[in-house]
Amino acid sequence: MMFMNLVLVIMFSCSMMGLTMNRPHFLTMLLCLEAAMVSTLMLIVIKNHQNPAIMTTMALTIITMAVCEASIGLSLLASITRTHASDTVTNLNLLKC
């Protein structure tokens, strides 16, 4: 049990490090966010295994938020790719439309 917690904390840390250090493409940023959401969900499920009602409610809420985040992110990716012809974040200047 303790090993699994350590693995999930390391997974969350690596995804946050990847989000801050490797930001040239929007898709890699979305993948790092998804890895962070999955590790957070797994940590909550592991921590709340005594009370199944709370675990189920929190897990469904976090999964719903992750799905919403993914759909908004992919729609932004499609919009950025259409308007700027690339998905690189460094070339975006959103103030100059």
Q: What residue spans define the domains of the chain?
A: 2-84
CATH of segment(s) 2-84? 1.10.287.3510
Q: How far apart are CA 77 and CA 87, in angstroms?
A: 7
> Which residue ranges in the chain fall short of pLDDT 70?
1, 90-97
Distance CA 80, CA 86 (A): 7
Q: What percent of the chain has pLDDT over 90?
A: 6
Half-sphere exposure of 34 (CA within 13 A, CB side): 13
Q: Using one digit for the tens of pLDDT, what is the confidence trace for 44-58?
A: 888 877 777 777 887
